Amino acid sequence: MGRHQNPGDAAAVPAIIAVPAINLLWPFQVRQAMERIKRALKKTFFAGLVVVVPIVITALALTWLFRVLDDFLSPVLYQMLGKKVAGLGILIEIILIFCIGLVATNVLGSRLLKFIQALLMRVPVVNNIYPTIRQVVEAFSPAKESAFKKVVLVEYPQKGIYSLGFLTSEVSINQPPENLQYFAVYIPTNNLYLGQVALFKAEGVMSTSFTVEEGLKIILSGGTAFPPVVKSQNIKSIP
């Protein structure tokens, strides 16, 4: 008779249990994903900030300027009209400035203004402030001979370092036996309010294709408005 086999007599077969693979890199991958999201959010936020901040500052500056100019004549207008009309002060100021311009462009008016300016030059303190402000304002007026003529590049303050400046005039230095020709260049050092005036020989002055307005924009922007390519040539004379 066949012997009955006991299950316990057979060798035990080990059970195979499927264990899912553990990704040991998942904390690092999650951290990388969070960093990418954070950078994307930060980049988007600052992109919006670059657009919004200049608009807000411009709006605030214009609002402040509007209020200052409009309130300048408000007391007088309020006494005349009995109420405050927004914008009327600025309108009257524009008309007054235009009328003063008409007076300044004729012979009798220019003589009267020169007489008033001569009186201002005799007043202490005023005689130091008024001419400076007048020269700065005239420098930006295209109708005046003292206006900036060209935007130029000069090696300043040392060789190999180029500074953006404004050509103002041509100067002749009498040094016997010859006269030396130089160009006067105004080089802003603190936006446009402060700067240096230096004399350069013709070969040391490079004329650019920038307009005066573009040169002002480059300086006021801290150089961020500088184009990638600047066309220049040595200057010969002031047009």
Report pLDDT digits (tens) over 34-78.
888 988 898 898 888 888 988 899 889 888 888 888 888 888 887
**What is the torsional sign of CA 112, 116, 121, 126?**
negative
Task: Look at residue 164 and tell me if it is in a domain.
Answer: yes
| Domains contained in the chain, number | 1
Average pLDDT of the chain is 79
152 pLDDT more than 90 = yes
Task: Look at residue 185 and tell me if it is in a domain.
Answer: yes
Residue bearing the bigger pLDDT, 7 or 192: 192
Task: Look at residue 187 and tell me if it is in a domain.
Answer: yes
Range of the domain at 228: 150-234
Highest mean pLDDT among 65-74, 102-111, 129-138: 65-74
- Per the CB < 8 A criterion, the answer to whether 153 and 208 are in contact is yes
Task: Look at residue 184 and tell me if it is in a domain.
Answer: yes
Angle (nearest 5°) at CA 44 between 40 and 49: 145
Q: Residue 155: what are its φ and ψ, rounded to 5°?
A: -80, 105
**Distance from C-alpha of 159 to C-alpha of 144, rounded to nearest angstrom:** 33
| Residue 78 neighbours by CB under 8 Å, 6+ apart | 84
Please report, rounded to a whole number, the percentage of residues in the chain having pLDDT higher than 70: 81
Task: Look at residue 129 and tell me if it is in a domain.
Answer: no
Task: Look at residue 197 and tell me if it is in a domain.
Answer: yes
Task: Look at residue 16 and tell me if it is in a domain.
Answer: no
Determine the pLDDT at residue 168.
85
- Per the CB < 8 A criterion, the answer to whether 113 and 130 are in contact is no
pLDDT grade for 2, boundaries at 50, 70 and 90: very low
Strands of the 178-190 sheet, one edge to the other: 194-200, 178-190, 162-175, 150-155, 205-208, 232-234
Angle (nearest 5°) at CA 230 between 227 and 232: 155
Task: Look at residue 34 and tell me if it is in a domain.
Answer: no
Q: The pTM is what? A: 0.53
